[in-house]
Chains A and B, each alone.
Chain A
Amino acid sequence: MNNAFDLVEVLEGRRVVVVAGAGGVGKTTVSAALALGLAARGARVAVITIDPARRLASALGIDDLGDTPHRVDPARVEAAGIHMTGTLDALQLDPQATFDRLVAREAPDDAARERILRNRIYRHLSTSVAGAQEFMAVERLHELVDSGAYDAVVLDTPPARNALDFLDAPERMTRFVEGRGLRLLLGPRSGAGRTGWRALQAGGHMVMSVVERLTGAQLLTDISEFLQSFDGMYQGFSERAAAVRYLLASDSARFVVVTGPRPEPAGEAIALWRRLRDDRYPLGAVVVNRVHPEPAGEGAPPVGLAGLLRAAGAADPDGLAARAAGALEAARARSAADRHEIRSIAGALDAPPITTVPALQDDPVEVAGLARVTRELEGG
């Protein structure tokens, strides 16, 4: 199935490409293939992966894919038939390191920074608070765009049960750090004067004493310290979240939604695309990954196969031909099911730009495989 348009061309000139979708659909591969295509056209590109994609790293010739960008060797890509006039850097998100840098930047002084970095709540933040990883991913994206070292940054989004979580993460995280209700109860300068506040506080203190009875006092002390140490940084956080939102909603960004040709990820992709459209985020395309191509022969049965197998010296040509015919029938059914799924996505979304990538035996393990995905995304 050849694609009607060139997705890399659509994304050319954008500063940010966000690749989103359900878990297990091949987002990382699509992200890397798009980044490769953009670098081939002269852009200085960085791709941020979320999953530890060791095989992708080795495909790109990077031993240790970590928080710092690693340059991909152009000779390696050249060998796969893609000439890069730009550059390609790859890195893997380290949520805690990203947050540590954010704290270091926003903290008013060294003492405040140290207080935060030591806090137990803070140290568990990147794993305990819902949306923290997504927040860090967006923050890392922002860092790289701000650095001015790249023309384009491609972000492979974290695997979420619900791919939509990604969009709400910055605000959720900001709200959490702000901790309005909690500050009132725990902070030293809380709820000055007004009767309404005081009433709320009375109930609140009861809540806190119950919590304390259940968890021991240490937890509340830690949380209180955590929130206090973020005093004066909240403003910076919320500005940062607003800036990211602005960037992602601007014409400099494009969202690419990846799915497989199966009902569950397709359902998530449809919901994600609608949400992006309703919230006026800039849409790139839907990529349907791992599509089974239609076998040749236009549905005709392989009537001459037994004869050919006999000529080839097969032991049981009739039996083998019948089994091979069964395999062909199954391959045709699979391909038809995939095309049906692609049509339902198109129907549900009023014909969005859809591009497909054929199923490979395994996810690309060599840069040649990645280059093949790039070529498919360029229109096949």
Chain B
Amino acid sequence: MQEPPLIDRRLAFVLGKGGVGKTAVAAALGLGLADAGHRTLLVEVGAETRTQALFGIAPALDDPVQVRPGLFALTVDAELATQEYLSLQLKVRPLVEMMSRSRAFHQVTQAAPGLAELVTLGKIWDLATTVQGGAPLWDRLVVDSPATGHGIALLEAAGNARELAGSGPIRDQADAIEKVIRHPAATGIAVVATPEDLAVTEAAEAVGILRARGMPVACAVANAVRRSQFSPADAEALRAVLADPAAGDPERAAAHAAIAVADGAAHDAREVDGLARESGLPVAVLPHVPDLAPGSGGLEALSAALMSDPAVRGSA
């Protein structure tokens, strides 16, 4: 069966080790999908926001905020999502308030393995499946997942809950969530790595874990890959300059800088190959973009590179 490319799936999870640029990749994907005419929601998980630095607008905790035409951002916080879930289930306001204030309740939610992840995933599922006026509320959702371990825990939350909860409303909900999260026509996971050994290894391990549990991994993304405008012949001539006693400091420094660019690009190309080999996935390759601040055009460049990559848009 031919699985659809990442950009055709309603729900995309962007996963990876801390510091590899997950937020930037998620934002670039969201931006590209919105530009392609999809009403898109960018979802951040957790209380801290990093999206703000990219768009100059802080996502709100309760209501999606428009950050670009057709692109909205929202932060999903486990505690708020729990309260929201309670209100939906209990429908009695004083009871909900009593629960929210209860220290014991907070301890139960903390102790219950994976409950925070479950309500977070439940909220994402709810957003992905909400229909308004006969049409889905969102054409696309892009989730900026927490760092690898926690990101996997998030994706597995519904499956784990089915085991732990036994029966009751949570079990039923978990079943419904699993149907969407595991379906490769609806959901796609993109695993991000920088061209560094540790990040590549961790990404490949994450892909292995997700695959073993039947999660729909769509592609890998190599972020911040350096490129070189120097050919091997160029590098050879530059090395000859370094060996030339007539070369002064500025000339040597320029030759060193150029050779470092060539070496860096060669190094990164090897890591990208390693990522493709170890993950067995199509790899989208993104350039190193030093400035992603709003107005710099950096995010737009990243988005253009991502959306044109066959690993993300499909080969057809």
Contact = CB atoms under 8 A, between A and B. Distances in A.
A, B: real partners: yes
A182 B103 CA distance: 8
Given A296-B250, A309-B241, A323-B230, A220 B113 contact: no
A295 B257 contact: yes
B250 A297 contact: yes
A247 to B, nearest CB: 27
Nearest to A311: B244
Contacts of A121: 111-113
B243 to A, nearest CB: 9
A267 to B, nearest CB: 11
Nearest to A53: B198
B253 A213 contact: no
A104 to B, nearest CB: 22
Given A53-B198, A296-B249, A327 B261 contact: yes
A208 interface: yes
Contacts of A362: 196-197, 267
Contacts of B131: none
A112 interface: no
A161 B46 contact: yes
Interface residues of A, number: 75
A362 B112 CA distance: 41
A102 interface: no
Interface residues of B, number: 67
Given A23-B18, A162-B48, A185-B104, A207 B165 contact: no
Contacts of B249: 296-298, 300
Contacts of B113: 120-121, 124-125, 127-128
Contact of A309 (B19, B104, B237): B237
Contacts, number: 208
Interface in B231-263: 233-234, 237-238, 240-241, 244, 246-258, 260-261, 263
A244 B230 CA distance: 54
Contacts of B153: 127
A314 interface: yes
A324 B247 CA distance: 14
Most chain A CB within 10 A, of B103, B106, B230, B264, is at: B103
A249 interface: no
B201 interface: yes
A128 B118 CA distance: 11
Interface string B123-157: 00000000000000000000000110100010000
A216 B168 contact: yes
A327 B171 contact: no
Contacts of B9: none
A159 B197 CA distance: 17
A51 interface: yes
Interface in A297-312: 297-298, 300-305, 308-309, 311-312
Interface stretch (B25-33, B57-65, B68-76, B94-102): B94-102
Chain B at the A interface: SS class: helix
A161 B48 contact: yes
Nearest to A333: B290
Interface string A174-205: 00100111101100000000000000000110
Contact of A304 (B197, B240, B251): B251
Contacts of B107: 176, 179, 181-182
A211 interface: yes
Chain A at the B interface: SS class: helix
A80 interface: no
Interface in A250-301: 265, 295-298, 300-301
Interface string B173-203: 0000000000000000000000011100110
Interface in A10-55: 22-25, 51-55
B304 interface: no
A215 interface: yes
B197 A55 contact: yes
B104 A184 contact: yes
A55 B253 contact: no
Interface in A104-161: 120-121, 124-125, 127-130, 159, 161
B165 A219 contact: yes
Contacts of B247: 304, 308
A67 interface: no
Contacts of A351: none
A214 B118 CA distance: 13
A324 B242 CA distance: 13
A265 B108 CA distance: 34
A216 B167 contact: yes
A305 B254 contact: yes
A346 interface: no
Given A215-B170, A362-B196, A207 B104 contact: yes
Contacts of B296: none
A220 B258 CA distance: 64
Contacts of A53: 198
A312 B196 contact: no
A62 interface: no
B114 interface: yes
Interface in A202-234: 203-204, 206-208, 210-211, 213-216, 218-220, 223, 226
B202 to A, nearest CB: 8
A185 B104 CA distance: 8
Given A223-B108, A303-B250, 5 more contacts: A218-B166, A297-B251, A314-B237, A325-B254, A362-B197
Interface of A: 22-25, 51-55, 120-121, 124-125, 127-130, 159, 161-162, 176, 179-182, 184-185, 203-204, 206-208, 210-211, 213-216, 218-220, 223, 226, 265, 295-298, 300-305, 308-309, 311-315, 317, 320-321, 323-325, 327-328, 330-331, 361-363, 365
19 contacts: A55-B197, A55-B198, A124-B113, A159-B147, A161-B46, A179-B107, A182-B111, A211-B105, A219-B164, A219-B165, A223-B112, A296-B256, A297-B254, A304-B248, A309-B238, A320-B234, A323-B258, A327-B230, A363-B196
